[in-house]
Structure 1
Amino acid sequence: MKKFACFALAAALLLAGCGGTDGDNAAQSQPETGSAVQESTAQESVGQTEQESTQTEGTQTEDTQTEGTEAASTNKASIKAGDYSYHVESFEKEWTTDGGTLACTVKLAYPVFEGDTEGEKNINAFFEEWADDKMDYYENDKDSIVNIAIQYQTELETEQNTTQEETTLPAIPPSEEDFSVGGVVARGSIISVFMESYSYEGGAHGMPGRANYLFDKTTGKETTLASLISISEEELNEKVRSLFLEQVKGNAEGFFEDAEETLNNKKDFIDNYYFTENGVVFYTTPYEIAPYAAGYTEVTVPFEELGL
């Protein structure tokens, strides 16, 4: 039972709720699946949502204690990103216990570029491997959200079936983890792919996630923002920090009391960013300087100020 103490604590929070005071011109596609987070509101929108159509391909029985139901879908509509076109491939899988209880659902979506250049082919191979690696992790790592959820729901079933007394484990909804494409931008020699995610493991709400991938257009090889900008990381920190501090000072009630202190001590602004047609958006995560309900706090730095 101790094995699932963390999971049970998260479930208890579900009842308590959550509070607190707590060379080319840039071209961006419209995000095709939107934000994976319903609760949080970004201060800058990255576009409208494209709806996906789902085509169920069948059910696969795994060589484990569970059965996984798989469904694949493709948004066939081409989406433009500068001179490039792509569509969205998505994959969904459910895991249940032997007793038939839904334990976890995973949804993966990623871009597929429709050209035949070396760069596009290599970017497509990158995201195919990305999806394969995630599925391997979900199914084979004992600490993955899938296997933790299966263990918990199985333990809950066992208690319910073997005792006449009320179970000591709180019932919680199935876990889930969703990945969506937030947007694709072509800028100069770079293609930027912005990914969003949402993970729920019990409690009052799940948590959002973000990641941005930069690729060289010609080779399709991954690169970094630090290697592309013309200013030092220290100069970047100063520039971005000042923009955040302006927001905090202009709306102190919307941020934590120690928001300014947190920002003054923060030296990793370059780790949290994505591209839009207007520039590079830098953000702080929920709970970092503001309550969860405030979502991500964002500032935008024009490409020209970064030498992009």
Structure 2
Amino acid sequence: MGKLKKITALTLASTMILTGQSVFAETNNNNISVVVDGSELTFDTQPVIENGRVLVPFRKIFEALNCAVSYRSNGASKEVVAVNGEKFITAEIGSNTMTVDGEEIKLDAPARIDNGRTLVPLRAVSESLNADVQWNGEEKKVTINKKAGFYKISSVSNDETVKADDGTNIAYISTVYPVIEGSSDFVKKINSEYKAQAEKFVSSAKTEFVEDAKLLYKEMGSEYNPMEFTLSYEVNTNRDGVISITNFDYENTNGAHPSYSKSSRTFNMTDEKELQLIDVLVGEQEGLEQTVYDAFISYLEKNDPGLDAEAAENLGSKLNDVSWYLTDDSLVMYYNPYEIAPYTLGTPTVEIKPENEPMLNLYLSK
């Protein structure tokens, strides 16, 4: 499952606080509007202002920002977890800090529960996901803009909490998948495939691990930690008719360490085709394989002191298995953990810029 740092990151206590420098009045909290990429959000619990910060229901805002979301309750501890690609956010209810990729961020207003809904600080949460946030005091309106793209891409989120017979939480399963706007058969096919992948992820987690989770809980009792399963995604590029998306797969089943992997797909929306690496690294197959080999042998020589002839031979047998995606200005190639290197090396990754690789197609320089 996705290369994700430990999912402690996205537990943002359930309400977002707007942490701008401007201070909002504590009165007249009604009718605060929140607009994300031009669409106004509808809340079942209205946003409020506390300590000059706007707080909003966590699920609605995180889902609008393309996150896989889960709410976790363990005794007196309650927290919100949000995952967007490799970005993890966690916020504990009542705490004046949230954690983003392992780094604590101080909040002016903590996440809290209001009318049965968890509220989180809006600006802090949005900016942790690299969104731009603007406050219009006269209109009492928050405008949030994510990174602009050529095509509009929205998300569908789902989360489930699996419980033991006594009601204890034993597993959390959360997914989010992309939905590309459009009515062509090509777009519909892409969207249906991402939906099916998310549904399969949930089904597999339940089929393969829920019974194990129940047995482990019976054996360990209060020492048991709920299993975690998260599928999220990141849009790597969305420009000039090209979309590149990476899915992140994460699972923590209380083994020696969590498991993660990722998978990427790149689409030429104009020509309605899914691109292969040879479409980007133009040339003959032999030249492509040599480019991959040279790039990763150099990576391994630099990062793996134990590199030997066997490891080099293993790489040579997996040149056609390399995964890749496009950013706005580079080609990124990678292997998942264990494919060509020990787990300790994580996800071996090589980035290639057009100026450093004559074979690189002009997809990156339009």
Q: Cα 1:89–1:56, aligned 2, differ >3 Å: closer, same or farther?
A: farther
- Asked if 1:305 corresponds to 2:359, the answer is yes
Return the match for 2:190 from 105, 121, 126. Answer: 126
Structure-2 separation of matches of 1:240 and 1:53: 45
* 1:74 equivalent in structure 2: 64
- 1:254 deviates by 6.8
TM-score, L = length of structure 1: 0.61
Preserved contact between residue 103 and residue 153 of structure 1 (Cα < 8 Å): yes
- 1:276 deviates by 1.6
Return the match for 1:272 from 320, 323, 327. Answer: 323
Structure-1 separation of matches of 2:145 and 2:313: 45
Preserved contact between residue 180 and residue 196 of structure 1 (Cα < 8 Å): yes
TM-score, L = length of structure 2: 0.52
- 1:128 deviates by 5.3
* 2:25 equivalent in structure 1: none
The percentage of aligned residue pairs carrying the same residue is 22
Q: Cα 1:284–1:132, aligned 2, differ >3 Å: closer, same or farther?
A: closer
Q: Cα 1:90–1:268, aligned 2, differ >3 Å: closer, same or farther?
A: same
- 1:228 deviates by 5.3
SS of 1:245 mapped into structure 2: helix
Preserved contact between residue 96 and residue 103 of structure 1 (Cα < 8 Å): yes
Structure-2 separation of matches of 1:74 and 1:255: 44
Q: Unaligned stretches of 5+ in structure 1? A: 1-34, 41-48, 58-70, 161-166
- Asked if 1:38 corresponds to 2:5, the answer is yes
Structure-2 separation of matches of 1:256 and 1:288: 15
- Asked if 1:110 corresponds to 2:177, the answer is yes
Structure-2 separation of matches of 1:56 and 1:236: 51
Higher helix proportion, which one? Answer: 1
Structure-1 separation of matches of 2:332 and 2:231: 20
SS of 1:84 mapped into structure 2: coil
- 1:259 deviates by 3.0
Q: Cα 1:247–1:168, aligned 2, differ >3 Å: closer, same or farther?
A: closer
Structure-2 separation of matches of 1:136 and 1:240: 31
* 2:227 equivalent in structure 1: 175
- 1:213 deviates by 1.6
RMSD: 4.0
* 1:262 equivalent in structure 2: 314
Equivalenced residue count is 236
* 2:19 equivalent in structure 1: none
* 2:242 equivalent in structure 1: 190
Q: Unaligned stretches of 5+ in structure 2? A: 17-41, 45-58, 67-143
* 1:95 equivalent in structure 2: 162
